[in-house]
Amino acid sequence: MRGPHNIWRFVRTGATFERTGAMAVILDAIDAPPIIRIPLRSLVWPFRWLGLKGDPALSPVVRALNALGPAYIKFGQMISTRPDIAGADLARELRVLQDKLPPFPTEEAIKSIEAELDRPASELFSEFGDAVAAASIAQVHRARLAENGKEVAVKVLRPNIEKAFRKDIDAFYFAAGLFEFLSPASRRLKPTDVITHFDKGVMGELDLRLECAAASEFAASTAKDPGIQIPDPEWDLSGKRVMVLGWAEGVPIGDNDALDAAGHDRTKIAARVLQLFLSHALRDGYFHADMHQGNMKIAANGDIIAYDFGIMGRIDEYTRRVYAEILYGFIQRDYKRVAAVHFEAGYVPADRDVDEFASAIRAVGEPIFGMDATGISMGRLLHHLFEVTERFGMETRTELILLQRTMVVVEGVARSLDPHINIWNVARPVVEDYIKTNLGPRAFLKDFAQSARVLSRLSPLLPELAEQVLMKQTQPEEKRAKSRGLGSAGMFALGAGVALAGVWAGTLF
């Protein structure tokens, strides 16, 4: 439920951060000034005894997030890829959340498998080991199939994970609604829509049949891409709470020492991670949207092995073209074109000045152009970008949330591999190739051909459609006026109903 009882959950959240010592660690990591540090801790400290204790064996921040629940862990996973925002030490500490959380007992995993597949585990697997990785939603066991001796990874959902996530997300909905109610200016950021987007993604992760389908589709779309491997799903051994994939043998992409010892070139791997993501997003409109270090390994031949397909992203062809033009404009330092694309796509309200927006974008892009990652403060950059969006009344685009979030994570992974990576130089060949293929003469001919095919399918209906239009034009004027009046009244009633519902919902929040 999303009612006021969730206020208690947020009081307990702050109290948990204070009780576990996580509050001080976080404030130190982001170098919070006294004007923020002192009031915040003074507000939370009296309630610290209400906080959850967590596992004392874990470090403070990991301890707090793990105690608070899976949705908080998800947020920690994203921050773990951004040492430039959280600090190198805290980011390294948070990587535990990716796949090294405390596992639930193997016996419970076996019971879940047998209940889901309705067969004894001994008939399915000749070997079944303890958990080799455990994250917020599920854990993975290394096993061997009894039928053919193939090594596999068996993913099993945590017990009662659906209920735990539902409680967290309901609390987030309450917070978003309260935020919108108390701060009308925040509504352009669409906090409730953002939580809805997150909610849908998480619910998809809780059905492993959908993840099997995603693995299969992603393998098909990347089959011709060099430098990437996707494990094959075992469909007959997978269900809603259990999934079996081929075992991926390799070095964890987050272990720089092990990568160096194995002789891998981290600079090349960093570039490949970023380029593969851009290629899949732009070319296919279908991309792995959870590419943190816990979901990738490096094979002996240097290939990237991707797994965990619970969160996948899709963007339509029009959005891909807009995204590519914006990226290309930044690469070319053509800020007027970048501004124009924002206006054409409706990302900036039409009543704003395009030249002023171009100047604001230049102020963001020029200071970082040509710099390697070590010279860029992502904290300052994000703050500047937020100021620009607020100044020009830009609303959050929910269709781009997953793309933007994944871009942040992927860049963080690339930075962790190569601190000197220049994202513009790495992105240039992928974006230029997409521009040549999809925004030139060939793209025009392709669009024309697609339009012709649609028209050919509709051609049998064209006479009937034309007749309906003519009949509407020839009906008596009085009848048309009455029809228009009813339509207006209907629209007014609908609008009034929506407005009243919004006010009612606001009072509940």
Q: Are 53 and 19 in contact (CB under 8 A)?
A: yes
**How many CB atoms are closer than 10 A to CB 207?**
17
Angle at 284 between CA 225 and CA 312, to 5 degrees: 95
The continuous run of DSSP H or E covering 153 comes out as: strand 151-157
Distance CA 88, CA 95 (A): 11
Q: Residue 177 has which token pair? A: 């609604």
Could you tell me if residue 140 is left (phi over 0), alpha (psi between -120 and 50 degrees) or otherwise beta? beta
- Report how far apart, in Å, the C-alpha atoms of 40 and of each of 11, 18, 175, 471 are: 12, 10, 18, 68
Dist. CA 137–CA 155, nearest whole Å: 10
CA 192/CA 178 separation, integer angstroms: 10
Closest alpha carbon to 426 in 222, 307, 269, 315:
269
Q: Apex CA 324: angle with CA 334 and CA 268, to 5°?
A: 100
Do β-strands 125-134 and 138-145 pair in parallel, antiparallel, or remain unpaired?
Answer: antiparallel
SS3 397: coil
Closest to 157 (Cα-Cα) out of 141, 137, 142, 140 = 137
Q: Is 155 helix (H, G, I), strand (E, B) or coil?
A: strand
184 DSSP assignment: G
Tokens of 172: 């987030």
Integer Cα distance of 186 and 395 in angstroms: 9
Q: What angle do CA 440, 443, 397 make, to 5 degrees?
A: 95
**CA atoms of 203 and 310, how far apart (whole Å):** 9
Question: Three-class SS of residue 233?
Answer: strand
357, 342 Cβ separation under 8 angstroms: yes
| Alpha carbon distances (Å) from 28 to 162, 316, 446 | 34, 41, 54
The letter for the amino acid at 464 is E
The single residue of 290, 334, 372, 447 carrying the catalytic annotation is 290
290 catalytically annotated: yes
Residue found by looking up tokens 């690339």 in the block? 414
- Around Cβ 468, how many Cβ atoms within 10 Å? 10
Catalytic residue numbers, as ranges: 290
